């Protein structure tokens, strides 16, 4: 370009043009804006972390002893989880996935097909049993469960079944898979007051207790699934189910936890297992709000523990 051409093109800039010109070539205002945006993002990030840590400190109980091994190394490495409904296993999903990663053989027993549960607007009520059994198989595969048994006791009516019949089935399954540790719902409130839950815990407890002197009986420990005091308080604030069914008096509620399992690394698996129970989205949204919205790596920094009460210990 000649000096003539440059002179000819030199048109005075308006104040607006000057500003735009500076922005386009990365002038000071643009840098300042980027800097402010950076600070704002950093502050928002710090605020989010502070909020998560605050919620976590409210929910989790650091006083409860943490364990890396729900099945002690001194016992045969096999654990059985016994629940009445498809999706109940979500309460222990992180632990199941962790045990599988540790090489522990895991067995999941589900006493019913959950045919009385919510359809989530996704299937006809008549086809719910089939749909929920399929969902449970998918969840069990995600959690790397070695053996899954889905039985056909009537959902919501465990109380109407002869107790000896159910206990006999539980005993046979224990002798078939030979777990050293069994995990189930508590026999006091059944997690939040569901009769099927409470009776399942009661029958499992009784089967193990009644066989505790048998030399061939494999179970040494029974754990009840439980929650921290902060989690119960939060559930009473947000969950209509807890509000309707959970007792006011703490001594009638869930047993105090003896152990906590850190499930931070199993967050993705737990979330995927929850999503497998497609028909149950309303229940999860109530008990685990935002589980399907927040990324797993954030969510399981807050919900990073599963709690257990040691109900029976028959170790020598």
The binding site for Zn ion (CB under 5 A) comprises 85, 88
By C-beta, is 71 or 139 nearer to Zn ion? 139
DSSP 1-51: --HHHHHHH--PPPHHHHHHHHHHTT-HHHHHHHHHHHHHHHHHHHHHHHH
Residue 283: name the closest of 85, 118, 110, 90 by CA: 118
Residue 170: name the closest of 195, 151, 144, 145 by CA: 151
For residue 88, the minimal CB distance to Zn ion (Å) is 4
Helix 195-210 with 163-177: angle, nearest 10 deg: 60
For residue 145, the minimal CB distance to Zn ion (Å) is 17
By C-beta, is 85 or 220 nearer to Zn ion? 85
For residue 190, the minimal CB distance to Zn ion (Å) is 8
By C-beta, is 192 or 308 nearer to Zn ion? 192
By C-beta, is 88 or 304 nearer to Zn ion? 88
Residue 232 CA from chain centroid, whole number: 15
- The closest residue (CB) to Zn ion is 85
By C-beta, is 64 or 80 nearer to Zn ion? 80
For residue 191, the minimal CB distance to Zn ion (Å) is 8
For residue 105, the minimal CB distance to Zn ion (Å) is 24
The alpha carbons of the chain give a radius of gyration, in whole angstroms, of 27
Q: What does the DSSP 8-state code read for residue 292?
A: T
């Amino acid at each position: 370009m000649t000096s003539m051409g440059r002179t000819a093109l030199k048109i005075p800039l308006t104040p607006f043009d000057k500003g735009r010109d500076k922005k386009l070539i990365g002038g000071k205002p643009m840098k300042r804006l980027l800097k402010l945006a950076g600070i704002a993002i950093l502050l928002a990030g710090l605020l989010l972390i502070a909020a998560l840590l605050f919620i976590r400190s409210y929910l989790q109980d650091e006083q409860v002893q943490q364990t890396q091994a729900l099945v002690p190394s001194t016992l045969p490495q096999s654990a059985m989880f016994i629940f009445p409904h498809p999706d109940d296993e979500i309460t222990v999903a992180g632990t199941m996935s962790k045990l599988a990663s540790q090489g522990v053989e895991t067995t999941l027993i589900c006493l019913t097909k959950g045919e009385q549960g919510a359809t989530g607007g996704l299937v006809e009520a008549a086809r719910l049993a089939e749909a929920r059994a399929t969902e449970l198989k998918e969840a069990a595969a995600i959690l790397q469960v070695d053996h899954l048994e889905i039985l056909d006791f009537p959902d919501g009516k465990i109380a109407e079944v002869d107790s000896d019949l159910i206990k006999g089935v539980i005993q046979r399954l224990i002798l078939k898979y030979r777990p050293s540790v069994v995990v189930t719902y508590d026999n006091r409130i059944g997690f939040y007051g569901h009769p099927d839950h409470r009776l399942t815990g009661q029958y499992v407890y009784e089967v193990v207790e009644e066989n505790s002197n048998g030399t061939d009986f494999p179970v040494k420990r029974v754990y009840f699934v439980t929650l921290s005091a902060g989690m119960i308080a939060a559930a009473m604030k947000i969950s209509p189910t807890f509000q309707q069914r959970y007792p006011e008096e703490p001594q009638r509620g869930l047993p105090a936890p003896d152990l906590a399992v850190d499930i931070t690394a199993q967050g993705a698996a737990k979330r995927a297992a929850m999503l497998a129970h497609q028909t149950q989205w309303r229940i999860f949204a109530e008990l685990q709000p935002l589980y399907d919205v927040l990324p797993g790596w954030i969510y399981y920094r807050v919900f990073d523990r599963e709690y257990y009460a040691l109900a029976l210990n028959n170790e020598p």
